Chain A
Amino acid sequence: MIVFDQVQKSYQVGGRAIPALHPTSMTIETGEVFGIVGHSGAGKSTLVRLINLLEPPTGGRILIDDENITGYNASELRAFRRKVGMIFQHFNLLSSKTVADNIAFPMKLAGIYSRSEIRERVDELLKRVSLADQANKYPSQLSGGQKQRVGIARALACRPTILLCDEATSALDPQTTQSVLKLLADINRELGLTIVLITHEMDVVRRVCDRVAVMDAGEVVEMGAVSDVFLHPKHPTTRDFVFESESIDREEMQRDLEHAPGRILRLTFRGQSTYTPLLGSVARESGVDFSILSGRIDHIKDTPYGQLTLSLVGGDLDIAMNAFEAADVHVEVLR
């Protein structure tokens, strides 16, 4: 469990303190995939680097499994960092070392593993990230996705309990992003590792995260389960991210709604209700006629969801609303 207790960070620029992170309190549970989303400069990079103290906080306490890491001395800090793996947007592999040597590097630095232990662990990790046949290549000979797999294997070498991902998929194409995210989700499930992932893409959060914090101008403006934040965003920044990820043009949507007759509702289905054949029966029971203005069916991590914007004409609207709510469908009246 990672606990932020009034943690803040500011930088001294020309004698003035420029805040990068306003006092923030939050808890990241053991074993969850926690996303931090925000535009560049929102402070998410700072936030993730506070967890392994690459950036020391200027105020507050950070507790990891009830230990105050901000009080660590140099050698305690180094021992602690071995238990926190980190992967990066630009991979940060050593170009002078082979794939196998890159993965072995953190174990060699730790100085507590025998040569045979290191060899065994490297083989195991190479298999885990499907790069067993690339062991003796140099990073420059690999593709972006392969490099990030090496990065992940390296981060896992010392069996960490926390994995920090700093824009780990931002330099990858969509297909490679998919496979890297799948690998991260598998690792999280198999090893029970806590993953803290920062990104500027809501789509990444939707695919792998359990909970998410949205950051804006050095502040966490919204936090909660991904399905809640994603389906019912409250803060304007969050809304921007959600719309962006669904490539919805808000003005265009507004125009479409103006042309539609009757009442406009947005229905949100989650989990099993996504597959329930509901619309037809509700229309029959209430006598309402409807047309679908927009809709989307997708997954949030492993949970299916659907979101439909309908225009309803005639019939008894109350019966329809009650029927939707009885079926566990969230209803929002847009007009």
Chain B
Amino acid sequence: MTPPEKGPEPIIRLFHVHKRYGAKAALIDISIDVFENEFIFISGPSGAGKSTLLKLLYLGEPVSEGHIVVDGLNLSRISRRRIPMLRRRIGIVFQDYKLIPSKSVYENVALVLEALGTRPRLIRKTARSLLRRVGMEEKAKALPPSLSGGEQQRAAVARALAGNPKIILADEPTGSLDADAAAQIFDLLRECHERGATLLVATHDTALIRRTGGKVILLDWGRLDVTTTIPKLPA
């Protein structure tokens, strides 16, 4: 893989990574370098291992074999106590949003800031600014179940951005959204990239990839099939 011009040191490195669930191999011998401020799609059919790959990066699952280094942290050697340090460097957007249903949109965002030890006054300011950024300021008091899928995902993006992460992982972020909502979410992720974040987006939506263009890692039944760059379609 040729490093891009922007940064010589990869922010994420996978060395011969294997992931097995019992006898079933979910990922086989994956080696990837991701450089700072790259925007990468991880694509492939259902069951290709896209979500598993992202889970390994935030230690949602342990690696079976091989090594992963994320922003200087070797995930094979990281102690349990340091896992929060890793996760604070990563913003995660899930397909099923994973918002706390009993807490308002504002509280969902503020809770992350609280967990990061932000001062109360700054929490209010930052949470409001994030909700404004994703266009959810007016729904700040709403509970997630009362929102549409697109709105919930925008709230989830706001939460993912709360810790000002270097890396954003998005697992099928537009998977359950209509085209308009998907485009809005995608614009938000693009904006994060423009502000300097490194993005890995798992998606099987090839139309979206073609429309946006960019580097694509294609997985096929757990194996790295190809890494390619797709040019953006003309509008």
A and B: bona fide binding partners:
no
Q: B-contacting residues of A (Cβ < 8 Å)?
A: none
Q: A-contacting residues of B (Cβ < 8 Å)?
A: none
